[in-house]
Amino acid sequence: MRETIAEAGIQHVTEVQGISKNLVEKALRMRTESFLAQIKTQLLTQTILEIDKGKKEVMEAHKMLSQQHEQVRRQNDELERRVQERTTDLRKEIEERKKYEIALKQAHGELEIRVAERTKQLKTLNQDLEKEIVERKNAEKEIRKLSHAIEQSLSSIVITDCQGRIEYINPMFTTTTGYSSEEVIGETPSILKSGVHDQKFYQNLWQTIKAGNNWKNEICNRKKNGDLYWELQAITPIRDEKGNVSNFISVRMDDTERKQAEDQLKVYASELERSNNELEGFASIASHDLMEPLRKIMLFGDRVKEISPTLEQKPKEYIQKMQTAAARMNTLLKDLLTFSTVHTKPNSFVKVDLSEVMNDVQENLEKLVREVHGEIFVEKLPDVFGEPFQMRQLFQNLIANGLKFHSSKRLPQIHISCRNLSKEGVEVTVEDNGIGFDAKFSERIFGAFERLHGHSAYEGTGIGLAICKKIVELHGGTIRAESEPDKGSKFIIALPDKQKK
């Protein structure tokens, strides 16, 4: 376009120059021809006139020519003067035209610059327009996607104006509440009020969202058919370009089933707590009532031995077996009481120094250690979060097992070590060199009353490891066993940190 304008301007200037030159030449030629024709006509006319005036007397040719020559000279001078004036005028006109051409060229140059600038601007505008079109198409695509997502959402979605009047609901709102779009558009969400919440609840809601903040809570509403239902609701303010709240969008998830399950769980928890309390009370009373007769059996057995030293061997053996059975029953009742109480999770955990726990355990087991000529080796142990009494129960049972189930081939040794599990907590290992057991029993041994050996070989009730497992689980940890026959056993306890608890 710019090249076409430039070519047209140049052609115009050339045409103007050519026209100016042709006009001058044509004017001179026409004037010369006209002047010569006038001279011829005048000479002929004057000659005839001279002849007529002299009454057919012919004037002398040289006089006539002289006179005519003078006239021609004067006329020629006049013509030259006029030609010169016209030439001057034409030169001035040409100068003016040159000035015009220069001005035209300048205008042409400025026009080219303007055309270039305008072309550049148009190109930029065109690029911006193309970009805007692409962005608008992408925005429209995103809007379609969002619209589809909202329409297909499993959550109820409500959009209101800043006064709370409903402007839009998605299909799930109708499915949940029973209200159609025609019934609620222009209304407020108060049509769903159930009467469960007090006025303060709704005041807090409106104060929060009108201040431009998000509101999230659990709310009970009423369906069109009158049924109550619970939903988790989140309300978010939408601001206009000036930053003022223009709308509110509410996303609601039907929470009725979870709420009902939660309420039912609370009932179960309450019943379970009551049952546990009754069980603990029963265990305490039962153990006391059962242990009292056992103590009397053992006491009367001792009395019989004292007052009847002459008893035969057979009755003495019967009395000894009776007392041994009573002692074992007494131990079993104590373990049952411990097992029943360990089911109650501690209300709070504190920082427990495992090194101090091990010192207490070694003092409690000092007599047993001397009897079996055993040794206990304890590495530096960390602090953990837990219930101190249960931590002592845990490690005392494990160490006592290692001492009790020792091999006749070697003196018992117990090694306690620990390693960190990064952010997951700590792992404590209790390892002995006792009789061990087959790996296939590594899960079974943690069951209540599970024994791998008879009462005649090793004492015990079969509840100790079950108590250990319960304690570890109450602390959010795990316990496992590794063993081989006659190669000792290893118990690995993983305890989480405070955050994992």
Q: Does 431 reside within a domain?
A: yes
Q: Does 501 reside within a domain?
A: no
Asked whether residue 124 falls in the same domain as residue 223, the answer is: no
Residue 51 has pLDDT above 50, yes or no: no
Asked whether residue 97 falls in the same domain as residue 124, the answer is: yes
Q: Could you say which DSSP state residue 44 is in?
A: H
Q: Quick one: angle between helices 313-341 and 464-474, nearest 10?
A: 10
> If 0-12 CB within 10 Å is exposed, 13-18 middle and 19+ buried, where does residue 363 land?
exposed
What are 144-166's pLDDT values in tens digits? 877 777 787 888 899 999 999 99
pLDDT band at 257 (very low <50, low <70, confident <90, very high): confident
Q: Does 134 reside within a domain?
A: yes
Q: Could you say which DSSP state residue 154 is in?
A: S
Q: pTM to 2 decimals?
A: 0.44
How long is the chain? 501
Predicted local distance difference test score (pLDDT) of residue 48 = 47
Predicted local distance difference test score (pLDDT) of residue 155 = 85
Domain end (from 341, 375, 397): 341
| Residue range of the domain that includes 60 | 2-147
Asked whether residue 332 falls in the same domain as residue 362, the answer is: no
Number of domains in the chain: 4
Predicted local distance difference test score (pLDDT) of residue 37 = 65
In angstroms, rounded to a whole number, what is the distance separating the alpha carbons of residues 187 and 165? 5
* Poorest-pLDDT segment among 281-290, 447-456, 487-496: 447-456
Asked whether residue 301 falls in the same domain as residue 376, the answer is: no
Predicted local distance difference test score (pLDDT) of residue 139 = 81
Asked whether residue 93 falls in the same domain as residue 47, the answer is: yes
Residue 251: which H helix or E strand, with range? strand 245-254
More confidently predicted of 320 and 417: 417
Q: Encoding tokens for residue 106?
A: 């300048």
Predicted local distance difference test score (pLDDT) of residue 287 = 62
Predicted local distance difference test score (pLDDT) of residue 49 = 47
More confidently predicted of 150 and 379: 379
More confidently predicted of 421 and 491: 491
Taking phi over 0 as left and psi of -120 to 50 as alpha, with beta for the rest, 226 belongs to left
Predicted local distance difference test score (pLDDT) of residue 208 = 92
Asked whether residue 15 falls in the same domain as residue 107, the answer is: yes
Q: What is the mean pLDDT of residues 398-410?
A: 84
What are 325-340's pLDDT values in tens digits? 777 677 666 666 666 6
Asked whether residue 85 falls in the same domain as residue 114, the answer is: yes
CATH of the domain at 210: 3.30.450.20
> What backbone phi and psi angles, to 5 degrees, belong to 433?
-115, 35
CATH of the domain at 320: 1.10.287
For the chain, give the mean pLDDT: 78
Asked whether residue 122 falls in the same domain as residue 174, the answer is: no
Asked whether residue 88 falls in the same domain as residue 137, the answer is: yes
Taking phi over 0 as left and psi of -120 to 50 as alpha, with beta for the rest, 178 belongs to left
413-420 and 375-378 strand pairing = parallel
Percent of the chain with pLDDT over 70: 74
Listed residue (484, 396, 395, 480) closest to 433, CA to CA = 484
More confidently predicted of 32 and 164: 164
